[in-house]
A and B are shown apart, each in its own frame.
Chain A
Amino acid sequence: MATDTEVLVLGGGSTGCGIARDLAMRGLDVTLVERGNLTDGTTGRMHGLLHSGGRYAVSDRASATECIEENEILREIAGHCVELTGGLFVQRPEDSDQYFREKLEGCRDCGIPARVLSGREAREMEPYLAKDVKRAIEVPDGAVDPFRLCVANALDAENHGARVETHAEVVDLLREGDDVYGVAVRHESGPGKRTHEAAGTTEEITAEYVVNATGAWAGQIGAMADLEVEVRPSKGVMTIMNVRQVDTVINRCRPKGDADIVVPHETTAILGTTDEEVSDPDDYPEEQWEVDQMIDTLSELVPILEEARTIRSFWGVRPLYEPPGTGTQDPTDITRDFFLLDHAERDGVSGISSIVGGKFTTYRAMAEEISNHVCEKLGVSASCATADEPLPGSENIETLEAGMDDFGLRSPVARRSKQRLGSRASEVLETSEANPVLCQCEGVTRAEVRDAIEQSGSDLNAVRIRTRASMGNCQGGFCCQNMANELHPEYDEETVRAALDELFEERWKGQRHALWGEQLSQAMLNYTLHATTMNRDRDPADDDESAEIEFDAFDGGA
C-alpha cells in the first residue's frame, strides 16, 4: 500500500511548523496536522520574548549559549517578526549583589553582549523604572511575534510542497505490531480557502515516519499507541497592558520567581508569568491571584503598572519534560532543554519520535536537530538550510522601509503594516480599491484583512493573529464586525455571522481576567454596542431566537 507522505508532523506550533519547513526544504514530502489553528497551543500563548540567553546565563549555560545563537539567526531570517528592543536585568536594593555578578559573568561566558548600567542610566533609558532601582545589565533581548513567525514557517513549508492541514485532530495513531505507520484525523470545518476535507469526516494518513511535536499534548498522543510520554504541563499567566510602559524587555535580576518580566509588544506590554504544574493542558484553573500577582510584583520594578490599564490576561502551558527518575518537585526547576524521544530505542516501537520540552527562542535549532534525526532514519542525506534562508516576508525589509510613503497610507499605519507584512507589503497594499482602516486601535487596513482572509478563509481568529486586528484597546468591540464584513459576499451571511460570534466570544474570554477599571468600562461599551445598537444578543436570525417575529403586529409607521 502506498503511503501518503514521507514524514507526518503532528502539531502546528512553532516546533511542528519549524520541522515541517526544515524537512520540506530538504526535499522531503511532509504533511503537518494540527488540531486547531496554527499556534493554537503553547506558541500562541506566550509573552513573545526573544531570549538573549541572559535569563539562563546563571542556571543553564548550554541553553543560554543556544539562545544567543538562535537570537542572532532569527534576527536575520525573520526580521519582520522580531523587534530588537534590547533588555535589562534590573536589580532592586533587596536583590543580591552576588547574583548580579554571576549573571554578568554568565552572560559574558556565553557570548551574550552585556553591559552594566547605573540606576540613573537605566532610568534614562526606561523612565518608568522604580526610583530605587540600583543598577541593570543590558542584553540583546527582543520581542517576537509568535503568530507571524509560526505562520511564516508554515507558508514556507507549503512553498516547498508540504501539506499543512489545520483543524484536523489526531484521533488515533495507526500501529501495526511494533510499527507506527500513520494517524487517523478528524476534520473539522475550518477556514474556507485552505483545502479542508468535509467537517466531521475522518481521514487516515499513512507515513514512513511520524514526529509527535504536540508539546504539552505529547503524552495524550503517545497514549494512543500505548507509548508513555511523561510530559509535565506547567501553566503560566500573561497580562496585557494597553500601552507599552517600557520599550525594552524588563527582567528582574534575581534567581527565580513568578512575575519577573515585562515584554513590550507592538503597542502593548505583556507581563509574565507564573509557573505551576497542571494535570490537563486543556483544562486548568485560571485564577485571579495570578493576575494580581503579576501586577503587584512587577509594580516593584515599574510602579505605574499598579494604576495602568490592562486589556486582558491569558494562560499558556509549557511542555516541560524531564527524563524519568529526575524527580524535580518545583516546575521552575525543570530544565527548559528539549528531548527527542526515539520510541524505537526507548520503547521498541518504530516509526515515531516525540519531541518534548524546549522553548520558543530555540525552535529552529530544535527543528534542525529533529530533522537530522528523521533524515537519518529515512536515509536522506540533505542538509539543513533554515538558518540561512529568510522566511517569507523578511527579504528586502530595508528597501521597503525606505519606500514607506509609497502606499498612500498615513505613515504610522504604513510603517506598522509594512512591519507586519515585510516584503509582501507592496503585493498586499498596492490596491486600486478603497482601503480604509478597519481596526483603529492597531491600524489594520482592509487590504491586510482581505489578504489574511485569502490565506485563512472564514476563520476570523486566524485573520486576527495574522493582522493584530481586534487585539488593541477596544478588544474587538469596534472592529470585529468590520472584519466580518470583509468575508461577504465570498462567504454567505450565516457563515459570516458564525465567524463574528466566534471572534467576539474569543475576544471576551481573555478580557474576563482584566475586568476592572478602564477595561470593565470598555467591556460594557462593547456589550452595549453589540447588544443595544446591533441587537446581536437577540438576533432573530439565530437559531435559539427562531420563534418567528410577527412583524405586522409592530408599529408599521405613522
Chain B
Amino acid sequence: MAIEDDVLVIGGGLAGATAALAAADAGRDVRVRLVTYKQSTLRHASGLIDVLGYAPASDGKAEGPLVDPFDALADLPEGHPYERVGSEAVREALAFFDDIAGDAYAGDHTDRNALVPTHRGTVKPTARYPVSTAEGLASDDRDALLVGFETLPDFEAPLAAAHLEAAGAPFSARGVTIPFPGIVRDDAKVTRYAHLLDRDETVTTGAGETGAREALATTVRQHLEGEPRVGFPAVLGDERAAEVRTALADALGADVFEVPMGPPSLPGIRLEDLLYGALEDAGVRVTSGVPVVDYEMADAAGAGSAGAGTAADGGGVGDRIDRVVVDRNGTEIPHRADQYVLATGGLVGKGVRSERERVFEPIFDCHVPHAEDRYDWFVDDVFGEQPYARFGLAPDRELRPLDARDEPEFANLRAAGAVLGGYDFAAEKSGGGVSLATGYVAGRRAAEEVDE
C-alpha cells in the first residue's frame, strides 16, 4: 500500500523546504510530504540569501555589485530561472521567506542589496542576512574590531581586516587573534565553540573559573580600542545565538556581529533548523534519511506501470508520474502523490550527476543539456564562465523540466533550486533567491493543480 499525499517534494534544502511550505500555504486541505536523503547543502552555505549580486552582461563581463537586484531581473536572458518565474514571483517569494524567518533575518526594509564582509575580507552583495550579521554590514561606516581564534584556522582576523581595507570599505578595521577560552583541543569542531557559549559552560582562564561568555568578553575587552562594533567568526551560539550575542555585546559595550563562514556553517545550520521548524508548524510530513531510487508512471488506465528505464524513452506530453519508490534500509516503499516537486540540488547536492560521457538527473532521468565532449564542460580560468556551473534542468514557465524537444518530461513534475540549470549562481550570487523563487512557484503551482 503506497503512502498517499497530494504534493510530494523531493529534497530538503532551501528550495525543497520553500516548495513544501508554499504548497502547504496554498491550501488547507493539501497534504504535503517532503522526503530528503542526506543532510542538505545548507550547512555548507553561508546562511546569506543572495538574490542577484552581479548581472551577467552581454560582453561576458559581470556588472556589479548591484545596488538593486530587482532593476536587473528584467534583463536576464531567456531560460534563466528568474526569467521563467518573473520578477513579481521573486518579490512574493522573498516576502514569503520574510514571514517564515521573522526576526531571524534582516534586509527586508529595502530593495537594496547589503554588502556583507566575508571571512576572507572581501565583501559580498546579498539581499537577506541573518540578524547575527546585521551589525557587520560593510556599508555601515563604523569602525570594527575583528576577532579570530588561534584554533580556528578558517578566519585570520588581521588578514581579513587588511583585505577589507584593500576592498575600499568605508571604515577602519583591525584584527586580533586570541585563544578561545575553554577550547583545549586544537581541532575542536565549530559546534563545540557554539555549544560552549550556548550553555555558558564554566571555563578556567588565568583569572579563574568563569562562564564562557564572560571569559570571551574579558579576553576581547583587552584588545578593544573603542571600536563600536566587534566581529567574530560565525560560532556565536547555535540554539541561543541571540542570547549569546546580547551577552557579549553588553559585556563589551559594543555591537557584536558574526562573519559568515564556510562549512560547516552555523548560520546555515540555523537556517535549516528554522525551515524545519516551519515545516512542522505547517503540518508538512517530513521523511528524512531516505533516497528516492525509482519511479513508476501512470498508464492510460491510471494504474502504475514499470519504471524509469522505459519512461526515459517513452516519456512525452501528458505522461504522469504515478509514484516514486523510496529506499528505507533496503525496503522499497512506494510514495504516491498527485503532484511532484524535484528539489534535489545541483552537482554539489547530487541532484545533477555526471559520468565520463554524460551529465544526468538521477531519479527521473530528466534531460540535462550539456556538451558531448567533457572538455567543453569547463574553461581554463577557474573563475571564468564555467559551463559546468550552469548544468541542470531546463524548465518551462511552469517550472516543468523539459526534454530535448522542449516538451515537459512529465505533466505533474516541477523542479526548483539548484537542480535547475541555465544560470551560474556562484558568479551571480543568486543561489538563495533562485531557490526561494522557484521553490515558491513550484510549490504553489503544484498545490493549485491539486485543487483543480
Of the listed stretches B122-130, B317-325, B409-417, name the one at the interface; the rest are far from the partner chain: B122-130
Task: Tell me, yes or no, whether A434 is within 8 Å of chain B by CB.
Answer: yes
Chain A residues, CB < 8 A from B44: 525, 528-529
Chain B residues, CB < 8 A from A548: 168
Task: Tell me, yes or no, whether B28 is within 8 Å of chain A by CB.
Answer: no
Task: Tell me, yes or no, whether A21 is within 8 Å of chain B by CB.
Answer: no
User: How many residues of chain B are within 8 Å of chain A by beta carbon?
Assistant: 81
* Cβ contacts A498-537/B at 8 Å (1 or 0 each): 0000001100110010011100110111011111111111
User: Given A488-B162, A493-B163, A539-B167, does the pair A532, B45 have CB atoms closer than 8 Å?
Assistant: yes
User: Given A540-B123, A549-B115, does the pair A488, B156 have CB atoms closer than 8 Å?
Assistant: yes
B119 in contact with A520 (CB, 8 Å): no
A553 in contact with B167 (CB, 8 Å): no
Q: How many pairs of A and B residues are in contact by the CB < 8 Å rule? A: 209
A288 in contact with B373 (CB, 8 Å): yes
Task: Tell me, yes or no, whether B395 is within 8 Å of chain A by CB.
Answer: no
Cβ-neighbour of A515 out of B65, B106, B141, B374 (below 8 A): B374
Q: Given the complex of chains A and B, what is the CA–CA distance between A497 and B260 in angstroms?
A: 19
Which residues 100-156 of B have a CB within 8 angstroms of A? 106-107, 109-110, 112-115, 118-125, 134-135, 137-141, 150-154, 156
Task: Tell me, yes or no, whether B315 is within 8 Å of chain A by CB.
Answer: no
Task: Tell me, yes or no, whether B70 is within 8 Å of chain A by CB.
Answer: no
Task: Tell me, yes or no, whether B388 is within 8 Å of chain A by CB.
Answer: yes
Q: How far is the CB of A533 from chain B (nearest CB, A)?
A: 5
B427 in contact with A531 (CB, 8 Å): yes
B348 in contact with A528 (CB, 8 Å): yes
B162 in contact with A492 (CB, 8 Å): yes
Chain A residues, CB < 8 A from B353: 517, 521
Q: Given the complex of chains A and B, what is the CA–CA distance between A473 and B156 in angstroms?
A: 24
Q: Given the complex of chains A and B, what is the CA–CA distance between A504 and B150 in angstroms?
A: 24
A485 in contact with B159 (CB, 8 Å): yes
* Cβ contacts A416-450/B at 8 Å (1 or 0 each): 00000000000000000111111000000010000
User: How many residues of chain A are within 8 Å of chain B by beta carbon?
Assistant: 61
Q: Which residue of B lies closest to A528 (CB)?
A: B426
B348 in contact with A558 (CB, 8 Å): no
Q: Which residue of B lies closest to A509 (CB)?
A: B380
Task: Tell me, yes or no, whether B431 is within 8 Å of chain A by CB.
Answer: yes
Task: Tell me, yes or no, whether A177 is within 8 Å of chain B by CB.
Answer: no
B151 in contact with A532 (CB, 8 Å): no
A540 in contact with B168 (CB, 8 Å): yes
Cβ-neighbour of A536 out of B109, B120, B265 (below 8 A): B120
Cβ-neighbour of B350 out of A497, A521, A538 (below 8 A): A521
Task: Tell me, yes or no, whether A478 is within 8 Å of chain B by CB.
Answer: yes
Q: Which residue of B lies closest to A553 (CB)?
A: B67
Cβ-neighbour of B153 out of A482, A520, A533, A557 (below 8 A): A482
A524 in contact with B134 (CB, 8 Å): no
Task: Tell me, yes or no, whether B166 is within 8 Å of chain A by CB.
Answer: yes
B140 in contact with A556 (CB, 8 Å): yes
Q: Which residue of B lies closest to A410 (CB)?
A: B187
Chain A residues, CB < 8 A from B375: 288
B382 in contact with A504 (CB, 8 Å): yes
Which residues 475-502 of A have a CB within 8 angstroms of B? 478, 481-482, 485, 488-489, 492-494, 496-497
B429 in contact with A554 (CB, 8 Å): no
B123 in contact with A549 (CB, 8 Å): yes
B62 in contact with A532 (CB, 8 Å): no
A552 in contact with B159 (CB, 8 Å): no
Task: Tell me, yes or no, whether A198 is within 8 Å of chain B by CB.
Answer: no
Chain B residues, CB < 8 A from A552: 139, 141, 170
Chain B residues, CB < 8 A from A435: 186
* Cβ contacts B353-383/A at 8 Å (1 or 0 each): 1111000000000000000011101101011
Chain A residues, CB < 8 A from B62: 538
A529 in contact with B120 (CB, 8 Å): no
* Cβ contacts B272-304/A at 8 Å (1 or 0 each): 000000000000000000000000000000000
Q: Given the complex of chains A and B, what is the CA–CA distance between A134 and B179 in angstroms?
A: 60
Q: How far is the CB of B60 from chain A (nearest CB, A)?
A: 13
Q: How far is the CB of B152 from chain A (nearest CB, A)?
A: 8
Chain A residues, CB < 8 A from B426: 527-528, 531-532, 537
A551 in contact with B153 (CB, 8 Å): no
B386 in contact with A481 (CB, 8 Å): no
User: Given A535-B118, A553-B112, does the pair A497, B163 have CB atoms closer than 8 Å?
Assistant: yes
A524 in contact with B389 (CB, 8 Å): yes
B120 in contact with A554 (CB, 8 Å): no
A521 in contact with B348 (CB, 8 Å): yes
Task: Tell me, yes or no, whether B169 is within 8 Å of chain A by CB.
Answer: yes
Cβ-neighbour of B125 out of A489, A550, A554 (below 8 A): A554
Q: Given the complex of chains A and B, what is the CA–CA distance between A517 and B355 in angstroms?
A: 5
Task: Tell me, yes or no, whether B181 is within 8 Å of chain A by CB.
Answer: no
B113 in contact with A533 (CB, 8 Å): no
Cβ-neighbour of B122 out of A434, A496, A523, A539 (below 8 A): A539
Q: Which residue of B lies closest to A291 (CB)?
A: B356
Q: How far is the CB of B435 from chain A (nearest CB, A)?
A: 12
Task: Tell me, yes or no, whether B263 is within 8 Å of chain A by CB.
Answer: yes
B159 in contact with A515 (CB, 8 Å): no
Chain A residues, CB < 8 A from B170: 551-552
A-B contact pairs, 16 of them (CB 8 A): A295-B356, A435-B186, A485-B159, A493-B163, A516-B356, A517-B353, A521-B354, A524-B348, A527-B383, A531-B383, A532-B425, A532-B431, A535-B124, A540-B167, A554-B114, A557-B137
- Known contacts A533-B46, A541-B166, A551-B170; 16 additional CB pairs below 8 A are A437-B187, A489-B159, A493-B159, A521-B347, A521-B354, A524-B346, A529-B44, A533-B261, A535-B429, A537-B383, A538-B62, A540-B122, A540-B167, A541-B122, A553-B67, A554-B113
What 7 A-B pairs come out closest when comparing CB atoms?
A493-B162, A485-B156, A541-B166, A531-B426, A555-B114, A537-B383, A524-B347
